[in-house]
Structure 1
Amino acid sequence: MSAGSDPGEAMTAEEIQAVAPDSTKRNAFTELMKSKPKAENPVTSSSSRSARPRSVRDGLGVYLENPASFPPSSVIYYNDDFVAIHDLYPKSSVHTLLLPRSPKHNRLHPFEAFEDPEFLALVQQETRKLRDLVAKELRRRFGKESAADALREAVLNGDVEPDDGVDGGLPRGRDWAAEVRAGIHAHPSMNHLHIHVFSRDMHSRCLKHRKHYNSFNTPFLVDVEDFPLDANDPRRHPGREGYLKNDFICWRCQKNYKNQFQQLKAHLDLEFEAWKKE
């Protein structure tokens, strides 16, 4: 298969060709999200730390085969059924991928894989778990700047007395879970099934192209909770619907930037600062 990207895909050729990061650095996010690993699945594990993908589009497979060989800066957590990783080319301030390890499903198109109701339920449950972790990371990063979290931060800092009986005495504060999205691309670029779980802010130096923005802000991204899809759902035909060619619409204020990506990009930087302060 060619290493080049298809015009109907969300990723560039450079991104498709990338495999796995080498960094061994730890950070607060990976420490927060790390859970005690279970024993390797004998079906998907590999004894080789240097296993290479058969195709550039099989790059995600190396995480499934031996997730323990990757540092916490790459693999967030794993268990018998899933591996959660940081997206190598994040399109938001927090962008993760959930990779199902089931050999029966993990190389199927999501539309086909999610026709299995038991597998879909398992994926939806694990996606909610990762969404919660991403929400906690957003609070850790941005809670001190958020007006909605001000009282909570004051309690944590000892400036205000806690209110007994509410979240351990803490005010609930901002609903960071509402700032997290989770879905699949209707036309995936990689061969292995993966679910994007990310903050909706679209703030990243890796957000560089039309397809990058529209693949996450049009029906090209299908929410995991929307499955199973109806047979006539138009999202089953992303090329026909032309989602990636849509005008640029700001995710926050809904202003239409037509075909002006650089103007949108500058606007998104302003929206990001305002969003953090909500």
Structure 2
Amino acid sequence: MAFLRALKDFACLPDPKTIPPSNLLKYTDTTITLFDKYPKAMFHFLVLPRVRPDAGLTTTVLHDLKSLLAWKEKEKALEVLKDLERESRDIQEMVRDEMRKRYGEGCEWKVFAGFHAVPSMHHVHLHVISSDYVSPTLKTKKHWNSFSPKLGFFLELKDVLEWFQLPEDDFKKRANLLESRYEPLLKSDMKCWRCDTELKTVPKLKEHLQSHFDRDIARMKKKRKHEIDLTGDDENEASTSDGPPAAKMTKLPEGKSE
């Protein structure tokens, strides 16, 4: 199916400028960052390593995270992940800036960077996703369990990088991402990653996540107002969520994602 290789097709392009602006956020010599068409949170991006055969980075090596971790050129595999890490940090800062623009100074929340243990699309891709999980396209138990940061299907980049410090046998055990080990997690009961409340239905889950988000925003705004009252410094305050968000962060891409 065409959507399975859509990311690979983007990663193979010699000139990322040809990618439609509705798909492309930014690119570097080694990475391409795309908007996720079906975001599972307010901010959701995919960072891809570019295919560079001259550096050994073929479509076979970059087929998925498992193939990258199995590459005999372990140091090069690590460098690919560090490239993704550097780019994800840049994206995270852009996201935090947009958070402040939408909701006001002091309004920021966690942004995760990680991989699906068993991806549904070809080519390595790092998810950079905000921790609100407030999105109309989060619709199923599988959606939630594939991104819940505590369940284990979503592998945070920082943890994957730490695997490279393990003895070789332990590294191989971690890097062998068996479907039989991870796919059953997608059928687990849905729980809030913050308070462990079990939610029986997706609507109840989304209502619960929204309530966390609303309380967080109210708390952050109250804290900021208190700081302004103490210092009198209200210059350059960002617009509230009623104002128009930055255009670049709100465009959606063509093509399918997980």
TM-score bracket for the superposition, by shorter chain length: 0.5 to 0.7
Q: Does 1:237 align with 2:178?
A: yes
> Percent identity, aligned pairs only?
32
Q: Which runs of 5+ in 2 are unaligned?
A: 164-170, 220-258
Equivalent pair of 1:98/1:194 in contact (CA under 8 Å):
yes
Q: Does 1:226 align with 2:164?
A: no
Summarize the alignment of residues 3-82 of structure 1 with structure 2, pairs less than 5 Å apart.
3=1, 55-64=2-11, 65=13, 66-82=15-31
Equivalent pair of 2:42/2:132 in contact (CA under 8 Å):
yes
SS at match of 1:262: helix
Q: Which runs of 5+ in 1 are unaligned?
A: 4-54, 150-173
Q: Does 1:102 align with 2:51?
A: yes
| Residues 226 and 235 (structure 1), Cα distance of their counterparts in 2 relative to 1, 3 Å cut | farther
Q: Choose the corresponding residue for 2:100, options 139, 151, 159.
A: 139
Equivalent pair of 1:179/1:199 in contact (CA under 8 Å):
yes
Equivalent pair of 2:48/2:84 in contact (CA under 8 Å):
no
| Residues 254 and 206 (structure 1), Cα distance of their counterparts in 2 relative to 1, 3 Å cut | same
1:51-96 Cα offsets, whole Å, 9 max, x none, are xxxx330112343324323343321111221111110000000111
Q: What amino acid sits opposite 2:126 in the alignment? A: I
SS at match of 2:34: strand
Q: Which residue pairs with 1:248 in the alignment?
A: 190
Rounded to whole Å, the distance in 2 between the matches of 1:137 and 1:275 is: 16
Rounded to whole Å, the distance in 1 between the matches of 2:51 and 2:84 is: 11
SS at match of 1:127: helix
Rounded to whole Å, the distance in 2 between the matches of 1:216 and 1:235 is: 20
SS at match of 2:32: strand
Q: Which residue pairs with 2:147 in the alignment?
A: 216
Q: Does 1:127 align with 2:88?
A: yes
Q: Does 1:185 align with 2:146?
A: no
SS at match of 1:198: strand
Q: Choose the corresponding residue for 1:111, options 52, 57, 66.
A: 66
| Residues 223 and 235 (structure 1), Cα distance of their counterparts in 2 relative to 1, 3 Å cut | farther
Q: Which residue pairs with 2:242 in the alignment?
A: none
| Residues 140 and 239 (structure 1), Cα distance of their counterparts in 2 relative to 1, 3 Å cut | farther
Equivalent pair of 2:132/2:213 in contact (CA under 8 Å):
yes
Give the Å deviation of 1:235.
8.4
Q: Choose the corresponding residue for 2:35, options 61, 80, 86.
A: 86
Equivalent pair of 1:250/1:256 in contact (CA under 8 Å):
yes
Equivalent pair of 1:186/1:220 in contact (CA under 8 Å):
yes
Question: What is the number of residues matched between the two proteins?
Answer: 194
| Residues 125 and 277 (structure 1), Cα distance of their counterparts in 2 relative to 1, 3 Å cut | same
Give the Å deviation of 1:131.
1.9
Give the Å deviation of 1:234.
9.1
Rounded to whole Å, the distance in 2 between the matches of 1:261 and 1:78 is: 35
Rounded to whole Å, the distance in 1 between the matches of 2:7 and 2:138 is: 20
Q: Does 1:197 align with 2:139?
A: no
Rounded to whole Å, the distance in 1 between the matches of 2:91 and 2:147 is: 18
Equivalent pair of 2:64/2:125 in contact (CA under 8 Å):
no
Give the Å deviation of 1:123.
2.1
1:110-162 Cα offsets, whole Å, 9 max, x none, are 13314422222222222222222222222222235xxxx2xxxxxxxxxxxxx
Give the Å deviation of 1:232.
3.1
Equivalent pair of 1:87/1:96 in contact (CA under 8 Å):
yes
If the length of structure 1 is used for normalisation, what is the TM-score? Answer: 0.63
Mean alpha-carbon deviation: is it higher for 207-216 or for 58-67? 58-67
